[in-house]
Structure 1
Amino acid sequence: MSSPVPPARPVFRADVQGLRAVAVIAVILNHVIGWPAGGFAGVDVFFVISGFLITGLLLRDREEHGRISLRRFYAKRMRRILPAAVTVLIATSVAAYFLFNRPRAISTLWDAVSSLLFVSNWRFAAEGTDYFQATDAVSPLQHFWSLSVEEQFYLVWPWLMLLVLAVAARSVRASTNRVRIAVGTTLAVIVAASFVYALWETATSPAPAYFSTLSRVWELGVGALLAAAAPALARLPLPVRVLGGWIGLAGILSSFFVISADTPFPGPWAAFPVLATALVIAAGVGGRQRHLVPLVNPVSVFFGDLSYSLYLWHFPILVFLLVLMPQQTTTVTLLILGLTLAVSLVSYFLIEQPLHRSPWLAGAGGGTGEALAATEEGQDARDARRAAWQGWRERFGAQFILSSLGLVVIVVAVVVTAQVTLRGGPSAAAPGAPGSPGAPAAASPNDGSGAGDTAGQPAVNPEDELQAQLAEAAAATSWPGDLSPSLDDVIAAGSSTNPARACFDIGATPDFGSCTWGSGDAPNHLYLVGDSEALSYAPAFKALAEGSDGTWKVTTVGLYGCRFTDVLIQNEGAGVMDACQQRKQDVASHIVSDAPQLVVVSNAYALGKASDGRPITVGDIVASTTTETAKYGASGRLVYLAPPPLGASLGQCYSPATSPQNCNVGIDQAWQDFQSATAAAAAATGDHVVSSLPFSCANGVCPAFAGTLPTKYDSVHLTPAFAEHLAPSIRWELGALGLF
């Protein structure tokens, strides 16, 4: 048996602090400006560092004291992690209350609770959050997922180490080498198993895999493995260490540019920054890395010291400032970066560093105050604690005062900036707004619909009033106080109050009778079919049937997320792909059997991929739609009802503290391409097209409300109340075609 290795005292690792600086800068730049594309891999650098430092701390504790003190370990972790984290969680929750709409503020509060309990990664995974494809309001606390993963590792790994040590060593005099070999073997198994799991989960469930503890623990395990192998790594020759350090640094930097949102992550591509980080850390075990100037210079070390505060604050600041100033100009970007740095500095000197170095919890098992422990040997514990706190106040008193003054300056600057911004009205013309580049001309009421004789129509076009309401809303600079339902309510409710919701649910095809409105013996029958766009129009058609004096009945049926095309288009909704084909077949069979006087089809105007993964174009989707509708045997009696143009995400753009101009959008190019292609296809088959522009947008601008009604509850779906309000307009459009 080899002789025990003397316990290595912890030494300051300037290169590790430099790695932290590189990692946090990469993450912040990726989040704020989207460059470098793989900057999010900086989190993986943090994981390796954490695994290395925590395991090294535990091993040294065992080698110096003969055992691992979990009380001492968790006391240190609490002092290090909690003060700054809790401050950010409280500040973010308070800011969300004032700046977010109610549903988003409540969601942020629950995000804060899950972050405080270190389970936010599980919450985001359970909610289906896609880190790379955020289509709705992003949580200002989403970045806490990585902290949750680390803390879950800290919670489990020390206990597992105790078990391993109990098996490997019968007494405290057991060989240090034997202990490290046992720990290293255990880690090797964990790393291998977790990496294999990461490969599998990334391939099968990429969105949850990003947040998954099981698919990430191998990264912390690699760092822990380095700590277990430290005595061997310390014997590496200097040339090998120099070369390894530079290769590792080059690997980390290149990974930020090689990896992107389209790269399978974390399995296997997280291995690139993880192994590169491991090289740098391993190269520095045997001595200072003075040659790695990019990492060990004073500036990098300082930003490494500041990295935790920078990481915690940057994302809430980014999200909140983009609520107040949604047009991210260069000035706004610089403001985000500058405010992040300023707040992080104050947080570091006012909260993080002083409380990390305080005697708080020191009596629970040791900690930073070795002086406290020594003093307690010779005097009363209460006196020792009083002396420790007195020394702490003397050390950090001036720093606390200066940091507090800095905080006051920041608060005043933020309040003044917010007031100027909010009083200034819209920061820029809405995309596609009149006068902006590429703004479309105002649409005629039947633009693209092929309208015919309007004989028998009401004397006044109901769309004229709608256009006036939409134009007034598009020009508004403050939210009206009489919206009913409120924007908060429609965001929270979504489609749950839609009377046809069950007729579009995933699962078995619903009973068609329960999805039919109007008189059962009505001479005319209309079918409304399609995906969630058809569902959002359903209240309008229900109102048409019930107001037709017994002349029409309407059946509305489809499937949320299932476009009525011959080609199966991918959708990530649970159960959608399994139910889609059967639902379309059942609908086609009923239409053929009932031979209705009119069939209205409404699908999303969005690109996608076929079920086999191949991208499909606008032309492909439109052609596939006409192939599907040809199965109905209703040529000449088909109407393609366009969805509203893609709008801003209401959950993201609506804030009671900002202008409704933030929710104004133009008519997106994809909508225009789909509408043109659909009109051409319908003309070729003798069918019809109804544009949604007359009741969605005015003069090329699509607002979030019209009159006293919110128009949408997200970025594209009509609110049930507004859809019902559209019944006269849709009747006008169908009447203009001679179909209703």
Structure 2
Amino acid sequence: MSSGMTAPARPVSAPAAQQPARVFRADIQGLRAFAVIAVIVNHMVGWPVGGFVGVDIFFVISGYLITGHLMKEWERTGRISFVQFYRRRIKRILPASTLALVVTVAAGFVLFPAARAWSTFWDGVWALFFVGNWRFAAEGTDYFAADGPVSPLQHYWSLGVEEQFYFVWPWVMLLALVVVARRRPQVSPRLVASLVIGALSVLSFLWALQETVSAPTVAYFSTLSRAWELGIGALLALAAPLIARVREQARPLMAWIGIAGMVLSLFLVAETSSFPAPVALLPVLSCALVIAAGENGGQRHIGLLTNRVAGYIGDISFSLYLWHMPVIILTASLFVADTVAERLVQILLMAALSMAAYHVWEDPIRRSGWLSGPRHGRAPRRAGRAERLGATSSVALVLVAALLTSLTVSAERQQAQAHQEQQAAVLERELRAGSEEGAQAPVPPGMPAVAAVHGEVEQALRLTSWGDAEADLEAAIGDHTRMDETVRACSDGKLERSHCRLGPEDAQTSVMLVGDSIGRAFVPSVRGNLEQLDWRLELRVNPGCSFIPITREFPTAQARQRCVDHRESVLEDIRAEQPDIVLISNSVIATEDEDGTPVTPQMWQEGLQEYLAVIEDHSEAVVITGPPADKTPASCHVRGGVPLDCLGTITDLRQATTQAEQAAAEATGAALADTTPLFCALGRCPAVVDGVPVKIDRTHITVEYAEHIAPAMGELLTGALESQTSAALD
């Protein structure tokens, strides 16, 4: 890489020695403090709902500062040194971000189960090369990753957006300046750069508008959908000479209007908003207004941003941003319950780590001669007394925070252990008494296989340690690859229908299995009964696409349309082919329709009833209830934990949805196979049954458990069909 590019001979504004000294912007430090506090509080407690817009404020600040520096360098020297530019970026970003990455990944291998630890490791690899945003965008569009635990490195996506922007923008800016300087030397360089970044920002915003509708998850993480936010900051820097002409009297009003806009955005913007476009305009333009008000020294009467506390938080804001998410996520695996004590310890720990990282690591490296060497022939400035005191104090604070964390965790673990022992004793009394109080679905009579599995579930409630099952549980968590390749290919639409039929070729009964990924997860359970029942099974499942006339929220418009087309195709095939039996199984999780309206059990019942009415005109229908969705094994299972940590319950939503499905079946003459006894006893649902891990994540069962319950599933299905026939005869 060359040290820079130089334009043809042209006047520059002044020699470097005559340029005004860099002006310290206390208001920008205050903006950084505002942004990082908003993000931290949002990630800790989910309030204010729009706290995540702090990242957008950071984007504007970054675009303003970096572009301003590049423009001033061009005006001063007629060139832009990319070597120096990227040296500064590396010194500013890489040491601090790498330290947090290494510590977080190492802590993950200590605290997390193997699957989650390795997932964190790969998050770290992507983040190290500043492309983590694309990894999280891809995972966000993965239906199976939707209910997984949050990565302690997910916040690194914003660094990826920034660094990708700065890998492109300086080169585009330089190219435009050089071309215009050669052909139109009289044209203002600032005007040229403004036109270029303005055009790019408009294109980015238009792209964001489209992608926010068609692929909202991708739009959130995408550099293409976020570049306009950095572009707004860049335009501010380029327009600085014009902004400096604004009357002094108007500047405080501008600043306070901007501050009010940022505060409002914390409460008006929500995750369900059209974000990042156009809703991010509110925090972005509000931040821009504050920055513009402070141009040319106009920083009076905004003490909220310019006070010393805000200034110090702004100083360490980058470290705070890097460390807050690892602290929140990693300590969550240590603490048993979400308590005030846990939050206080988290605040202390992230503050201590951030201060130590800033004073001991980040700031000394930034001031050192690393990469760039001594400036102007002088050695790098040595740390002063105040800086040494800050480093010593921050290290001491880390030790105090670590001690308090240890004491708090120990106290909570003792309290949790006592609670678990009490809970285990209650369960044991209920089991000994043979009580079924709290059980949502008693075992139907005449089903020995169902009764056997239910007995295993009851015994699993007595487990006090994972034993040999822990290794299998860790291996199963999040692993959606353990399935028959034919089943996977059929559900993904990669095989023709003729290749998606299982069971005896000459079977007397034709069966079609429809639904979403829950239906696919039950394939081994149904498949194990095909020969015995003399069934020929056709797979028409589609992950993420529930077989119900409610268009749920999808990551992309294309995925939404594929789901609609799939459902219509299946209904047409049922009308045309009239299979003997149609099995339906869908997810039971809180969801929203395409308009963001929560799907209620009543809506679920009406939608399912509509489809059952169509099916019952041609075939017998059986609704198979999905597994209860409560705890995610990847979150509840931690090293040193016990089975009671992952003991789920039958949620109100699950109970209400089962009742809705029962009502829809009764209204149309369909049958219902309630699988609850295969997963829960006494209203509680273990994570391991008879040494077999039950679920991969919050909703999907493992292939091993699906095979384990196959005989019981056969009894439930035949029993439901027999009950349906008896009801029809009556």
Residue type of the alignment partner of 1:141? L
The answer to whether the 8 Å contact 1:500/1:515 transfers is no
Check if 1:95 corresponds to 2:82.
no
SS of 2:623's equivalent in the other structure is strand
Check if 1:140 corresponds to 2:152.
yes
Which residue matches 2:5? Answer: none
**CA distance in structure 2 between the aligned counterparts of 1:551 and 1:228, rounded to whole angstroms:** 75
Cα deviation, residue 675, structure 1: 1.4
Check if 1:677 corresponds to 2:650.
no
TM-score (norm 1): 0.85
1:119-153: CA deviation from partner (whole Å, max 9, x where unpaired): 1112222333599x963221111111111111122
Q: How does 1:97-246 map to 2 (within 5 A)?
A: 97-128=109-140, 135-170=147-182, 178-246=188-256
**CA distance in structure 2 between the aligned counterparts of 1:396 and 1:226, rounded to whole angstroms:** 33
**CA distance in structure 2 between the aligned counterparts of 1:693 and 1:191, rounded to whole angstroms:** 53
**CA distance in structure 2 between the aligned counterparts of 1:577 and 1:58, rounded to whole angstroms:** 48
The answer to whether the 8 Å contact 2:546/2:586 transfers is yes
Check if 1:10 corresponds to 2:22.
yes
Q: How does 1:450-465 map to 2 (within 5 A)?
A: 457=446, 461-465=448-452
**CA distance in structure 1 between the aligned counterparts of 2:211 and 2:510, rounded to whole angstroms:** 48
**CA distance in structure 2 between the aligned counterparts of 1:232 and 1:421, rounded to whole angstroms:** 59
Q: How does 1:44-123 map to 2 (within 5 A)?
A: 44-123=56-135
**CA distance in structure 2 between the aligned counterparts of 1:686 and 1:445, rounded to whole angstroms:** 20
**CA distance in structure 1 between the aligned counterparts of 2:319 and 2:596, rounded to whole angstroms:** 42
Residue type of the alignment partner of 1:33? V
Residue type of the alignment partner of 1:94? A
**CA distance in structure 1 between the aligned counterparts of 2:59 and 2:675, rounded to whole angstroms:** 50
**CA distance in structure 2 between the aligned counterparts of 1:734 and 1:570, rounded to whole angstroms:** 31
Cα deviation, residue 394, structure 1: 8.7
**CA distance in structure 2 between the aligned counterparts of 1:613 and 1:31, rounded to whole angstroms:** 22
1:656-702: CA deviation from partner (whole Å, max 9, x where unpaired): 34333332221111211121122233334444322222111121111
Cα deviation, residue 269, structure 1: 1.4
Q: How does 1:364-443 map to 2 (within 5 A)?
A: 369-370=374-375, 373-375=376-378, 388=380, 391=382, 400=391, 403-415=394-406, 417-418=408-409, 421=412, 425=416, 441-443=437-439
Cα deviation, residue 734, structure 1: 4.3
Higher mean displacement: 229-238 or 417-426: 417-426
Cα deviation, residue 315, structure 1: 0.7
Gap change, CA 1:714 and 1:159, over 3 Å in 2? same
**CA distance in structure 1 between the aligned counterparts of 2:540 and 2:169, rounded to whole angstroms:** 52
SS of 2:189's equivalent in the other structure is helix
1:363-411: CA deviation from partner (whole Å, max 9, x where unpaired): 2xxxxx53xx334xxxxxxxxxxx648x459996665555445444444
The answer to whether the 8 Å contact 1:446/1:690 transfers is no
Cα deviation, residue 195, structure 1: 1.8
The answer to whether the 8 Å contact 1:559/1:583 transfers is no
Gap change, CA 1:474 and 1:324, over 3 Å in 2? farther
**CA distance in structure 1 between the aligned counterparts of 2:596 and 2:316, rounded to whole angstroms:** 44
Instruction: Give the helix-richer structure, 1 or 2.
Output: 2
**CA distance in structure 2 between the aligned counterparts of 1:427 and 1:322, rounded to whole angstroms:** 20
**CA distance in structure 2 between the aligned counterparts of 1:535 and 1:472, rounded to whole angstroms:** 28
The answer to whether the 8 Å contact 2:316/2:354 transfers is yes
Which residue matches 1:544? Answer: 529
**CA distance in structure 1 between the aligned counterparts of 2:105 and 2:29, rounded to whole angstroms:** 30
Question: 2:566 is matched with which residue: 573, 577, 580?
Answer: 580
Cα deviation, residue 506, structure 1: 2.9
Q: How does 1:33-48 map to 2 (within 5 A)?
A: 33-48=45-60
**CA distance in structure 2 between the aligned counterparts of 1:440 and 1:494, rounded to whole angstroms:** 36
Q: How does 1:288-367 map to 2 (within 5 A)?
A: 288-325=298-335, 327-363=337-373
The answer to whether the 8 Å contact 2:39/2:54 transfers is yes
Q: Which ranges of structure 2 fall in alignment gaps of 5 or more residues? A: 1-9, 428-434, 724-730
Which residue matches 1:381? Answer: none
**CA distance in structure 1 between the aligned counterparts of 2:88 and 2:554, rounded to whole angstroms:** 46
Gap change, CA 1:655 and 1:484, over 3 Å in 2? closer
Which residue matches 1:694? Answer: 677
**CA distance in structure 2 between the aligned counterparts of 1:85 and 1:641, rounded to whole angstroms:** 48
Which residue matches 1:378? Answer: none
Cα deviation, residue 225, structure 1: 1.5
Check if 1:622 corresponds to 2:605.
yes
Gap change, CA 1:339 and 1:440, over 3 Å in 2? farther
The answer to whether the 8 Å contact 2:269/2:279 transfers is yes
SS of 1:374's equivalent in the other structure is coil
Q: How does 1:503-652 map to 2 (within 5 A)?
A: 503-506=490-493, 510-511=497-498, 514-517=500-503, 519-523=504-508, 526-546=511-531, 548=532, 551=534, 553-565=536-548, 571-572=554-555, 574=559, 576-577=562-563, 579-585=565-571, 587-589=573-575, 592=578, 594=579, 596=580, 598-606=581-589, 608=591, 616-633=599-616, 637-652=620-635
Check if 1:469 corresponds to 2:452.
no
Gap change, CA 1:55 and 1:569, over 3 Å in 2? closer
Q: Which ranges of structure 1 fall in alignment gaps of 5 or more residues? A: 364-368, 376-386
**CA distance in structure 2 between the aligned counterparts of 1:724 and 1:694, rounded to whole angstroms:** 16
Residue type of the alignment partner of 1:727? A
Cα deviation, residue 10, structure 1: 0.9
Residue type of the alignment partner of 1:481? D
1:468-526: CA deviation from partner (whole Å, max 9, x where unpaired): 432343454532323574432352235534873344333565226x5222x44455555
Cα deviation, residue 625, structure 1: 2.4
1:579-608: CA deviation from partner (whole Å, max 9, x where unpaired): 41354136514762x5x3x54332223465
How many residues end up aligned between the 2 structures? 699
**CA distance in structure 2 between the aligned counterparts of 1:237 and 1:392, rounded to whole angstroms:** 40
Residue type of the alignment partner of 2:338? Q
TM-score (norm 2): 0.86
Question: 2:264 is matched with which residue: 254, 262, 286?
Answer: 254
Alpha carbon RMSD of aligned pairs, Å? 3.6
**CA distance in structure 2 between the aligned counterparts of 1:212 and 1:551, rounded to whole angstroms:** 51
SS of 1:159's equivalent in the other structure is helix
Cα deviation, residue 207, structure 1: 1.1
**CA distance in structure 1 between the aligned counterparts of 2:380 and 2:606, rounded to whole angstroms:** 77
The answer to whether the 8 Å contact 1:498/1:539 transfers is no
Cα deviation, residue 254, structure 1: 1.5
1:404-427: CA deviation from partner (whole Å, max 9, x where unpaired): 454444445545555555565469
SS of 1:529's equivalent in the other structure is strand
**CA distance in structure 1 between the aligned counterparts of 2:514 and 2:203, rounded to whole angstroms:** 47
Residue type of the alignment partner of 1:259? V
The answer to whether the 8 Å contact 1:325/1:332 transfers is yes
The answer to whether the 8 Å contact 1:130/1:208 transfers is no
1:49-89: CA deviation from partner (whole Å, max 9, x where unpaired): 11111122222333444432222222222211111100011
The answer to whether the 8 Å contact 2:342/2:408 transfers is no
1:533-555: CA deviation from partner (whole Å, max 9, x where unpaired): 22222212222234x2x755555
Gap change, CA 1:405 and 1:167, over 3 Å in 2? same
**CA distance in structure 1 between the aligned counterparts of 2:426 and 2:48, rounded to whole angstroms:** 34
Gap change, CA 1:608 and 1:526, over 3 Å in 2? same
**CA distance in structure 1 between the aligned counterparts of 2:251 and 2:241, rounded to whole angstroms:** 14
Cα deviation, residue 32, structure 1: 0.8
**CA distance in structure 2 between the aligned counterparts of 1:493 and 1:57, rounded to whole angstroms:** 48
Residue type of the alignment partner of 1:543? G
Identity of aligned residues (%): 37
